Structures are given as C-alpha cells and as structure tokens.
Amino acid sequence: MPYPWHQPRPRVVVRADLVPAVSVMSTVALLGFAVAWLWSVLAPPVRMVIGNDGQPFPLVAESYHRADGMVIFILLGLAAGLVSGVAVWFLRERRGPVVMAAAVAGSALGGWLATALGTAWAEGRYPTPGEVQTLDIVEVAPRLESMWVLLAWPLTTALAYGVLAAWNSMDDLGRRLG
C-alpha cells in the first residue's frame, strides 16, 4: 500500500509537447537573423596590405582584429543563449526535456544561420576593392575562422535552462501551476 502523502511522479509528456517544441525551435532559430545582423555591424574589418603578387596580407599591428570578430560572435552567442534559455523557461505549461532539447536544437540552427548570414552581410558592408596597387592598405570583411563559435549559443541555452530547472524544487517543474 502506498503512503498516503506520496504523490506519483509526473511523466514526461512527449506527444503533447511536440508541436510547441517545433515552434520553440523555429522561434529560437529566428534569433539567428538578429545575431547575424548585429555581428556584421559590430565586427571590425581586418586591414590588410597588398603584396607584390596582388594577394592581401594582414598587417602586423592589425591582425588582432581577426580575433575580435570571433570574440564578438561568441559574446553575442552567449547573450542570445541566455535570453533564449530564460525565455523558454517562462513557457510554464511546456517545461521539460522535450522543449529544452528543441531550444538547444533551435540555438544550434540559429548559430549556423548567424555564421552564414553574418559573414555574407559583412562581405556586403566591405566590398572588395576594384584596382589595387602594391602596398595599398585595404579593409577586408571580418571572417569567422573557427566553427567552434557555434557552440556558445546552444551550450548557454542548455546551461541557463538547466540552472533554472535545478533551482526549481517541484517534481513537475511547475507545469501544473501554469
């Protein structure tokens, strides 16, 4: 005989959460457009000098701007991950692992969109110059030289949602109160 004060553990509801999970995933992924635009505006161009063979080479004092674009993208990804993780947590009736997985998948898709669109929009802001001479200094669009920057947004989303779930003391994460 079960104890009278013992309540059964709530089960994970997968089927009822699938449609909201798809909408969460697509909404979070749409934030990739905003992150891409912000990165294309905020990332500084890389100044290069044209060599004898006509190829651009980075200036010694200006080569740190290559890392600036990557750091700015990581910071934007961290901010977007924090915002999306907390915003998805506020969907009280749909809290759980299905919506969290959808938010992380949407964050990964949004990060991919941000890298693809951000570099394209940055190249539009800094077009390649027509005719250049040897030793001319040109500004080249910023690039993301490592695809590891994609991990900042989904990992921060999972961390923010996980911390909020761990902080909650209810077995059903407060779904019944919604």
**Tens of pLDDT along 30-53?**
999 999 999 999 999 888 888 888
Share of the chain above pLDDT 70, in %: 89
**Tens of pLDDT along 110-160?**
999 999 999 999 999 988 777 878 888 888 889 898 999 999 999 999 999
* Residue 170 zone, left/alpha/beta (φ > 0; ψ -120 to 50; rest): beta
Q: Which residues contact 23 (CB under 8 A, 6 or more apart)?
A: none
